[in-house]
Amino acid sequence: MQTPSDIQQYTEDELFKFRVGQFYFRKQQEDSAKETQRRDRDHQKEVFDKRYDTNVPIKKGDLVLVYDAATNKMGLNWSGPFVVRKVLSRIYYLSNLQGIPMKRQYTREMLKPFVAAPLSTTK
């Protein structure tokens, strides 16, 4: 254990320099943390955009499939097709093929364009 006589005495200038150094080091840590957060955010956006290709535009009248997370693990994850009846910014309103509106609204991440399989012409 240190006794008061063992403690080195610092001048006021030295203490001031130490404190300024602490503030400088703290600023470097904050800048590093901000850069790490920015890099992580960019990476997560890249992964999200790759997973949910939202670059394909969906317009009124298009046929889409809806992601259905309620199904069991081995079941189909997409239901549909449905018709886009209204688009408001990032919200999509759908109806079934008979024209009956669905009560729910959907975001772009929950939709993917419906692509019909080509008809087979084998005899």
- Among the listed residues 67, 107, 113, the one whose alpha carbon sits nearest the alpha carbon of residue 91: 107
Q: How far is CA 90 from CA 10, 32, 85, 118, 121, in A?
A: 62, 34, 14, 31, 40
Check residue 79 and give its pLDDT.
86
Using one digit for the tens of pLDDT, what is the confidence trace for 11-26? 888 888 989 999 999 9
Contacts of 117 (CB under 8 A, 6+ apart): none
| Torsion of Cα atoms, 98 then 102 then 108 then 109, to 10° | -110
pTM value > 0.85 = no
Using one digit for the tens of pLDDT, what is the confidence trace for 92-113? 999 999 999 999 999 988 898 8
